[in-house]
Structure 1
Amino acid sequence: MSSNSGRAWQAMTDFLRLQKRYMVESFAELDLSVQLAHALASIPREGMTMRALADELACDASNATGLADRLEERGLIERRVCQDDRRVKRVFLTVAGRRMQDKIQMRFLTPPAAIAALSPADQRALREILERALAFADAERVDPGA
């Protein structure tokens, strides 16, 4: 790892660590933990299997089940048996869940003050750099040997 890439990575991890408080406070206003907000935001409008939810959240099935339990208790999702395979459970957003998901998405789309304070040119440069890094990360995920 070059000195520049190491310093860039360190700056990014430092920034993300500092912004965790912003996320915690932002989702607390919605009476959600960051984990519950992430889980709810991950469920597409057409629903998904519990296994797919666990994969999306990069957690084991029991953790995804616990998150789904809490979301279901709040009336934000419902679980149904899959019609094609009764062993499989699918999760779907309720009307309240869709409304909450919209609020979560607005929070995700609202930049923290530290990003908003950058000049438009710096914001554009940051976006372009991160988009290129994401493209490399996606390519690596598809073909780890690349």
Structure 2
Amino acid sequence: MSSNGGRAWHAMLELLRSQKPRMVSAFAELDLTMQSAHAVHIVPPGGMTMRELADELACDASNATGLVDRLEERGLMERRPDGKDRRVKRVFLTPAGRRLCEKIETRFLRAPPAIAALSAADQKTLRELLERVLAYAEAERLEPGA
């Protein structure tokens, strides 16, 4: 791992690994797993199909179905027929789900101590670099090999 790119990638993975216990603990306080918190956080106001949810969560359809079943039981999500295709179900957050999403965002959009320790200028540089990396990753996801 001699390249700067490889070392940067390794550092990002290590940062994520180091933050996982903090995230798991914080989500547990909300009675959520990391996957269920992610699901609540990514459902847009207009809802999304079950297939879109499974794709975003990088899981199979049966896993997404079970997850939505559990979140529906808690009154956080609901399924509705798609307006264009009755065979398709869309998932929406309920008012309770939206309130929970706000709690998730309040807790997790704050910088963790490792990032908060950086100067404002370094935080800005880090954000700009990561946004560029994410843009490249999204372009690659949409057009593999591009």
TM-score (norm 2): 0.91
Q: CA deviation at 1:92?
A: 1.4
- Structure 2: distance between partners of 1:42 and 1:97: 11
5+ unaligned residues in a row in structure 1: which ranges? none
Q: Report % sequence identity.
A: 70
- Structure 1: distance between partners of 2:4 and 2:85: 51
* Residue identity matched to 1:115: I
- Structure 2: distance between partners of 1:5 and 1:23: 26
Which has the higher mean CA deviation after the structures are superposed, 39-48 or 77-86?
77-86
Where 1:46 maps in the other structure, the secondary structure is coil
Match of 2:129 in 1: 129
Q: Does 1:24 align with 2:24?
A: yes
- Structure 1: distance between partners of 2:66 and 2:73: 11
Count of residues in Structure 1 that have an aligned counterpart in Structure 2: 146
* Residue identity matched to 2:42: S
Closer, same or farther in 2 for the Cα pair 1:142/1:52, shift >3 Å? Answer: closer
* Residue identity matched to 1:10: H
Deviations 1:14-67 (A, max 9, x none): 111011112111111211111110011111112121111111111110010011
Match of 1:68 in 2: 68
Where 2:130 maps in the other structure, the secondary structure is helix
- Structure 2: distance between partners of 1:48 and 1:138: 19
Where 1:32 maps in the other structure, the secondary structure is coil
- Structure 2: distance between partners of 1:82 and 1:137: 30
- Structure 1: distance between partners of 2:89 and 2:142: 27
Match of 2:145 in 1: 145
Moved over 3 A (4+): none
- Structure 2: distance between partners of 1:86 and 1:138: 30
- Structure 2: distance between partners of 1:139 and 1:95: 33
Asked if the contact 1:54–1:60 (Cα under 8 Å) also holds between the matched residues in 2, the reply is: yes
5+ unaligned residues in a row in structure 2: which ranges? none
Q: CA deviation at 1:94?
A: 0.9
RMSD: 1.5
